[in-house]
Homo-oligomer: A and B are copies of this chain.
């Protein structure tokens, strides 16, 4: 039993509020326990230089935290410069979403994914990906309806979940308190079918054996299955 009453293989309550922002082509408020992320999708009729005149589109992501999303106030990146951690996370979000979309069907457009963490209680990067996928699906739905897209560019359903080892025990979906004690930190980004899009795993204290990796993989597959079912329901009702 974990401090917040969960079993080791249990994810936190998930709530995805679609159409959270008025102006964005797609948006959700993604809640994973106390972690809350605003995910929005903005469409720009322009691609980066390396894609000009190729007919292909692009997906890019930006990630940031509101100053008081954290226990102590975090200074704004407009003052400090963008931090390495934010770059690392937003690159992960962008790569993950590009892997499940047919960029050739986007037209010469850039889809900007903005993930702004309103409240951070662990798992902000996985919540961002899980929420951003829904926001992107909503944006595609809108552009399809408006005739701006001829065909749905979404190839696969995508979600992400963290695993870790705390006090020798392997846990699914760590909250902040668990995360700050974890010996291992892993993030799995997978499709609804359990195929791999991105894996990042880190030994925070000591190198660890492959058996531990296997245990985390199995928890992650279970978590991804549950998340993709929730996403599905949200899209059906949106």
Contacts and interface: CB of A to CB of B under 8 A. Distances in A.
A122 to B, nearest CB: 13
A56 interface: no
Interface stretch (A11-19, A126-134, A191-199): A191-199
Interface in A22-66: 22-24, 27, 34, 38, 40, 42, 44, 62, 64, 66
A198 B199 CA distance: 10
A186 to B, nearest CB: 8
Contacts of A44: 73
B70 A23 contact: yes
B196 A68 contact: no
A142 interface: no
A91 B99 contact: no
A138 B42 CA distance: 35
B207 A73 contact: no
Interface string A70-112: 1111001111011111011011000100011000000000001
Contact of A119 (B21, B68, B91, B119): B21
A233 interface: no
Interface string A173-215: 0000000000000000011011111111111111111101100
A199 B196 CA distance: 13
Interface residues of A, number: 67
A223 to B, nearest CB: 15
Nearest to A196: B208
Nearest to A27: B68
A112 B22 CA distance: 28
Contacts of A79: 82
Interface of A: 21-24, 27, 34, 38, 40, 42, 44, 62, 64, 66-73, 76-79, 81-85, 87-88, 90-91, 95, 99-100, 112, 114, 116, 118-119, 121, 155-156, 190-191, 193-210, 212-213, 217
26 contacts: A21-B118, A21-B119, A23-B69, A24-B68, A27-B68, A40-B66, A42-B67, A42-B68, A42-B72, A62-B67, A64-B76, A64-B78, A73-B114, A82-B84, A84-B90, A87-B87, A99-B207, A191-B207, A193-B207, A195-B203, A196-B203, A196-B208, A196-B210, A196-B212, A198-B200, A210-B217
